[in-house]
Amino acid sequence: MSQGHNVKIEVFGSEYIIRTSESEEVTRSYAQYIDSKMREISNKTGNFEPNRISTLAMLSITHELFTLRNQFARNEEEMNRRVKTAMDKINSILEKSGAE
């Protein structure tokens, strides 16, 4: 298990050094996404107070996460339904042909 390494990031004008097992590139891409979300919210609301903006950004990102999770679950259910239908058809064909 990797112990991790330090990565310097900047979010909403503040610099942080964080310890992570993710690659530097991935960690910076996360930070850039958070920064862009905070700037978007700040521009929309006209509010520049970091605590409020970070809370709103977390809520927005959490909404995105839950929406994607729900979509993934629906897609998985649909895929399982289609696989079951296909397997039922294959088994029916095999039974009719006498193959087992």
Tens-place pLDDT, residues 2-61: 589 999 999 999 999 999 999 999 999 999 999 999 999 999 999 899 999 999 999 999
- Among 33, 73, 69, 37, smallest CA distance to 54 is for 37
- Hey, how many other C-beta atoms are within 10 angstroms of the C-beta on 85? 10
What is the distance between the alpha carbons of residues 34 and 18, in angstroms, rounded to a whole number?
A: 15
Q: What is the pTM of this model?
A: 0.76
Q: Which two tokens stand for residue 75?
A: 């897609």
Hunting for tokens 């809520």 — which residue is that?
A: 59
Question: What residue ranges do the domains of the chain occupy?
Answer: 5-97
What is the distance between the alpha carbons of residues 18 and 10, in angstroms, rounded to a whole number?
A: 11
